[in-house]
Amino acid sequence: MKHLIAPSILAADFGNLQRDIEMINSSEADWFHIDVMDGVFVPNISYGFPVLDVVKAHATKPLDVHLMIVNPDQYIERFAKSGAAVITVHYEACVHLHRTVQAIHAAGCRAGVALNPHTPVELLKDILADLDMVLIMSVNPGFGGQKFIGNTYNKITRLKALAADLNPNLIIEVDGGVDIGNIVALKDAGATVFVAGSSIFTATSPSKMISDLKNMPSGIFTI
């Protein structure tokens, strides 16, 4: 199976949100990426349950929910009920990360952990076997349209090597500045799911851009 593309609706036109959701439904995209920001963990506020409920009502593909919030534990069950298939929390926001991962699994969702650009992947060694996915942030979280951080390739390579022994089925997702110019190199480094926002929604044809990202050279990856 080819690598997966997860358009971030943070970059969609919220005046025409249903239109953009239906575009993703009919495209070659695989997941909807949902960025939830609280204005505390990151210096921005995005959207909450009302918007997520709208996306769920119209989406025909899995919801990949990325929580950029403090105290994510208190909302895990609510996000699961709102249709999340994957819930990703930040390593930097969780005091008891193992407990949080257990709660995500108990809610019936895949569990992911996100790492900010400055956070080494080696800090996940003791919990990597319990995770379904690790999200490598290739920009500082909080805003779309930022410049890609080049050290991301090295982080993905190190994470892939770490997972080879501890969790060979680990999904590696990358978010931030993903576009046609770097997706092949990111995939070669070991990433398997690609979040793209600005590069999709500022394109002349967003659906064609999704297709272009989806059909870049691909190896063997199953999920």
Q: Look at residue 220 and tell me whether its pLDDT is greater than 60.
A: no
- As a whole number, mean pLDDT of residues 92-96 equals 96
Q: What pLDDT score does 2 carry?
A: 77
Residue 70 falls in which region: left (phi positive, over 0), alpha (psi -120 to 50) or beta = beta
Please report, for the chain, how many H helices and E strands are present, in that order.
Answer: 8, 8
Percent pLDDT > 90 in the chain is 89
Span 151-172, pLDDT tens digits: 999 999 999 999 999 999 999 9
pLDDT, mean over the chain: 93
Please say if 35 is a catalytic residue: yes
Residues 6+ apart with CB under 8 A from 136: 114, 115, 121, 152, 155, 156, 159, 172, 173, 174, 175, 191
Annotated active-site residue in 20, 38, 64, 175: 175
Instruction: Say if residue 43 is exposed, middle or buried (CB neighbours under 10 Å; 0-12, 13-18, 19+).
Output: exposed
**Percent of the residues in the chain that have a pLDDT greater than 70, as a whole number:** 95
Per-residue pLDDT band at 98 (split at 50, 70, 90): very high
- pLDDT band (50, 70, 90) for residue 103: very high
Mean pLDDT of 37-65: 95
Model pLDDT for residues 33-48, shown as the tens digit of each residue: 999 999 999 989 999 9
Could you give all domains of the chain from N- to C-terminal order, each with its CATH number? Answer: 4-214 (3.20.20.70)
132 is catalytic: no
Query: How confident is the model at residue 147, as a pLDDT?
Result: 81
Q: Which of 35, 38, 64, 132 is catalytic?
A: 35
Q: What's the confidence (pLDDT) of residue 223?
A: 38
- Residue 49 one-letter amino acid: F
> Could you give the CA distance from residue 4 to residue 2 in angstroms, rounded to a whole number?
6
> pLDDT tens across 167-218, in order?
999 999 999 999 999 999 999 999 999 999 999 999 999 999 999 999 987 5
Residue-level pLDDT at 221: 41
Mean pLDDT of 77-106: 97
